[in-house]
Amino acid sequence: MPSPRGNLRPMDWFEAARNGVIEELEAHLARGQDLGQPDESGRTALLVAAEHGHASVVTLLLASGADPNADGAGVRPLKVALEHEHWDVAAALVRRGADPNADGVASIVLAAPPKRQLLALMLKHGLDPNGAHPDFGPYVQFALNDAACCDMLLAAGFDLARYEREVGESLLERALLTDRARFEQLLKLRADVNLPIDRRSRRTLLMHLAEEEPTEEVHELIRTITKRGGDIEQLDAEGRTAIDIAGERNHVSTVALLTRLRDAARRARERAAEAARVAAEAEALRLKRSEAAKKAAETRRLATAKKARAAKRAAASAKTRPAKLKRKPGTKRGAKKSSKLVRPAPSKRRRTGPKPAKTKGGTRRRRP
């Protein structure tokens, strides 16, 4: 192995990274060598060290500025480390900024046996709990195999409604096959019990249970699903209901149970429809009365406003009109005034002196 003090070849740091000789890498760094420079195939020293599981070399290269997300030769160091099960190298890469959502690498962490501590570290550094592997599907499908991993994804914000909307399949059967507690947990998250567990056959979990051997546990699960809104009359791709499937298997007790539950569901729907009709009629009556009350209130408001305007006009007219003359005593209220001139009455004062004498023309002449 070449010595750090000797004359080194231009690509000796790749050999040092491959063999985990940290002293040679430190010598290259001391000489100012860019250890992030790729070789002719695009591979970097960090990728080589991650592939061979040299955690100390990976730490040194990351500290010297190596890009943890460099996809040399079309692959990233984190994926290489996980594929070779170098969990400590993967943890070092995640801590220094490796993207946990790239390449669907979380599916490797979740695969049996799951690496719970590494999953927790990846979630802490930004792993999307709703993510998926491009070929193998959503992470939650892997997480259902382990209760702790499933709980971590749910706590990190896994969106069940988004999963059901995007994937179009139910997780209930997977959860039921692994852990009853996970099944109950998904029900509490309002899992759609009528969503198919397989999109091609359109079979629901209720149909799957109808096909199972009739046991008390199976019947109890059927009751649980119907209480959550399971549709017993839903059809699969072949046009069969859960009752039809149970009948084909000659599961008499399951057929009887499903029939009772179906009839009860029908009666409940009828009662609900009647209650909805009565409620709609009551609401229509309430709206009608409310509208009538609004119209009456508007009529009263308009009448009050009209009276207020009339009073305002009367007050304004009283301010501009001259004051009324006082009525003379003895005159009647409302008597019309005469437009004729009234000649003043003659004075009754007694005259003094001689009376005028009468003349031939009838006029009188005052006597001397």
User: What pLDDT, on the 0 to 100 scale, is given for residue 356?
Assistant: 58
**What confidence tens digit (pLDDT) does each residue in 162-215 have?**
999 999 999 999 999 888 888 999 999 999 999 999 999 999 999 999 999 999
Phi/psi of residue 159, each to 5°? -105, 105
The letter for the amino acid at 235 is L
User: What pLDDT, on the 0 to 100 scale, is given for residue 318?
Assistant: 81
Pairing of strands 137-138, 132-133: antiparallel
Coil/strand/helix, residue 123: helix
Average pLDDT over residues 222-248: 95
Taking the C-alpha atoms of residue 177 and residue 194, their distance in angstroms, rounded to an integer, is 18
Higher-confidence residue: 71 or 252?
A: 252
Angle between helices 116-124 and 147-155 (to 10 degrees): 10
User: What pLDDT, on the 0 to 100 scale, is given for residue 1?
Assistant: 39
The answer to whether the beta carbons of residues 83 and 111 sit under 8 Å apart is no
User: What pLDDT, on the 0 to 100 scale, is given for residue 330?
Assistant: 58
Domains of the chain: 1-99 (1.25.40.20), 193-299 (1.25.40.20)
**What confidence tens digit (pLDDT) does each residue in 144-155 have?**
988 899 999 999
Taking the C-alpha atoms of residue 194 and residue 206, their distance in angstroms, rounded to an integer, is 8
Higher-confidence residue: 367 or 27?
A: 27
Beta-bridged to residue 174, according to DSSP, are none
Q: Kindly list the distances between the CA atom of residue 353 and the CA atoms of 347, 350, 356, 357, 367, in Å, as whole numbers in the listed order.
A: 17, 10, 9, 12, 9
pLDDT band with cut points at 50, 70 and 90 for residue 8: very low
Taking the C-alpha atoms of residue 231 and residue 204, their distance in angstroms, rounded to an integer, is 9
User: What pLDDT, on the 0 to 100 scale, is given for residue 315?
Assistant: 86
User: What pLDDT, on the 0 to 100 scale, is given for residue 46?
Assistant: 92
Taking the C-alpha atoms of residue 222 and residue 216, their distance in angstroms, rounded to an integer, is 10
Average pLDDT over residues 219-248: 95
What is residue 239's DSSP assignment?
S
**What confidence tens digit (pLDDT) does each residue in 274-326 have?**
999 999 999 999 999 999 999 999 999 999 999 999 988 888 888 776 655 55
User: What pLDDT, on the 0 to 100 scale, is given for residue 354?
Assistant: 59
pLDDT band with cut points at 50, 70 and 90 for residue 255: very high
Average pLDDT over residues 333-358: 55
Taking the C-alpha atoms of residue 86 and residue 324, their distance in angstroms, rounded to an integer, is 114
The residue written with tokens 């592997």 in the block is 133
**What confidence tens digit (pLDDT) does each residue in 99-117 have?**
999 999 999 999 988 899 9
Distance between the two ends of the chain, CA-based, in angstroms?
Answer: 184
